[in-house]
Amino acid sequence: LSSALHHFRCPLCQEMESFQAEMFRLGIKIPDRDAAWELDGSFADLYERQNSCDAGQCLCPVGREQAEENGPWRLLICSSCGSRGTHQRCSGLAEDSESWQCSDCSDTGTGE
């Protein structure tokens, strides 16, 4: 009941489609809703996107939380962890840069 239809799967192999079909065939009613742990908003913060510049010194004249679609104040999010961001100019990135990695990720050997 807590996992409901959107997360109901075989406990052994994690397969959903044929497992749910067999449960329906056997007459087991599965509520058509999201899981109970999703309904109370417990994980809502995981769906929020990074929206500020985390550079040591933010150079943006209107502040860390401001960003443009294009140009020097475009906010790039770390392509590895997604938990840090930087304005293109604050990190000295080229205008055509499409990706960036924070210092934590690039220090681990995964960075550019």
Task: Give the DSSP per-residue string, 15-59.
Answer: --HHHHHHHHHTT----SS--HHHHTTTTGGGGPPP-S---SS--
- pLDDT the model gives residue 15: 94
Q: Which residues contact 92 (CB under 8 A, 6 or more apart)?
A: none
Tell me the average pLDDT of the chain: 84
Given a cut of 80, whether residue 78 has pLDDT beyond it is yes
**Range name among 40-44, 60-64, 77-81 with the lowest pLDDT average:** 40-44
The two three-digit tokens of residue 97, written as one number: 């840069």
Higher model confidence: residue 37 or residue 70? 70
- Count Cβ atoms within 10 A of the Cβ of residue 62 and give its class: 0-12 exposed, 13-18 middle, 19 or more buried: exposed
- pLDDT the model gives residue 108: 57
Given a cut of 70, whether residue 79 has pLDDT beyond it is yes
**What does the alpha-carbon distance between residue 99 and residue 39 come to, in Å, rounded to a whole number?**
34
Set out the domains of the chain in order of their start, with CATH numbers: 5-46 (no CATH), 50-111 (3.30.40.10)
Encode pLDDT of 2-48 as tens digits.
Answer: 778 888 889 899 999 999 999 999 999 888 887 777 767 777 777 77
Beta bridge partners of 76: 86
Percent of the chain with pLDDT strictly greater than 90: 35
